[in-house]
Structure 1
Amino acid sequence: MWMLVAILLGVLIASLVTGGVFRWHPEWAWMRPKRACMMCEVPRRGLDVVPILGDARSLWRCRACRAVLPWQYPAIELVIVGLTVFHVWRYQSGVWIPDEATELLFAWLARDILFTVALLLVFVYDLKYTLILPVYAIPSAIIAFALNLALGVPLSSLALGMAMLFLFFLLQHALSGGRLLGAGDVTMGLVLGAMLGFVDGIVAVMLAYILGAIVGVVLVATKWCGLHDRVPFGTFLAVAGFILLVWGDILTKIL
């Protein structure tokens, strides 16, 4: 039963998210409604707007112009559903849940799902446009701070994490003239600090640099990019943030 509820919840979240993931970029900002075809602008209607199912019903094509629908939509929707099911399974089975989550488990579950969706948006948007929009990052940091505070996470950890990570990224941005880190990456310091607190936030940043270095070496070695090409660092921050969100207690104890 809980699996069905988790899938339906994931589908609902996916339907709310995917319509605007890419279209907040200026390239598509003029288009309304958000669920319109990117080629002919004809809105999708009825069951066609249902995540995954709608794309399958229309054979992954626009019914009006027959243009192939972007593969990113069903891919993101599947990931959202999968991650939602994963979080529900965690809390239902008592596996990999935060040490502080001794009560109000539903609230902690909702927090983890919300944080995961926010990190996924950062990952997808930065991967596609090499850009982290403040309209994503700033509200995410504010909501994360408020939720964690309401759930009893120490104010000192949240405030110190946000301040230290923000200043750390801001210093790199300023010293490099934006070559090492973009302005969007700086705002991710606020997001990770608000979501993870001071200790887990620091570990997440360390992990992001390690992941970035490994992927960068692989990309250069396989000639997918050159030494001077820019790899979107926000994607690694998002992945590291998710890892610490789920396995933070384990990693910090190991370190």
Structure 2
Amino acid sequence: AFPAGFAYAPEVGRAISERAIQALAELHAVDPVASGLIQFGKPEGFLRRQVDGWIERFHRSRTDEDVPHADAVMAWLSGHVPESRDVTFIHNDFKLNNMLFAPPAYQDIMGIVDWEMATVGDPLLDLGVMLSYWTEPSDPPSLRALFPSVTTLEGFYSRREMAERYADLTGRSMHDMKFYYVFGVFKLAVILQQIYVRYKMGKTSDARFARFGDGIRALVEHAKVEMERS
């Protein structure tokens, strides 16, 4: 949300969208070898490890509640892992609320935080994760309620526009973008499930986690719809 009293206008949303996607493109322009950052990861087989790892986490944290379509989504992801066309240094949790925007206009990025998952791998995974948080006005109400975001306001780029702008800035193909986005949504579902299973087992009593079961099902349903979209 914007600070109380901030006078929002659509051009603010456009500026934030543009700055955010520019920041991601600039990050992915850093040469991992020349910068010495190559030591942060093992790019060979990176995508396959990501898919297999998050599927395994889903199974390990599964509760007694049914999650319709989960098996279909996992099977689709496992069978559609693309060949990485590029290797860069990636943030691995790149999203709007990991960026600090400078007041009073809130249009220029003054910092990017939460680098603990940074690694070397496929840059489109960063884009997919970012877009999985980038809710749109046309998204299902259950999804918008789970991740309320300023990105639903008039002026913000759509997910498609963000991907197209990234392609313009980097020259990278968006041919397999469906995979990266579906994976990002599934990863979010697993993160919620890892918290929810602790709640179900009585290891945490935070009442906010009680609704995570519905959130997991909403995310998996959204992933299924997106993977079937032509």
Same fold? TM cut 0.5: no
Structure with the greater relative contact order (CA < 8 A, sep ≥ 6): 1 or 2?
A: 2
Structure with bigger strand share is 2
TM-score (norm 1): 0.28
Structure with bigger helix share is 1
TM-score (norm 2): 0.30
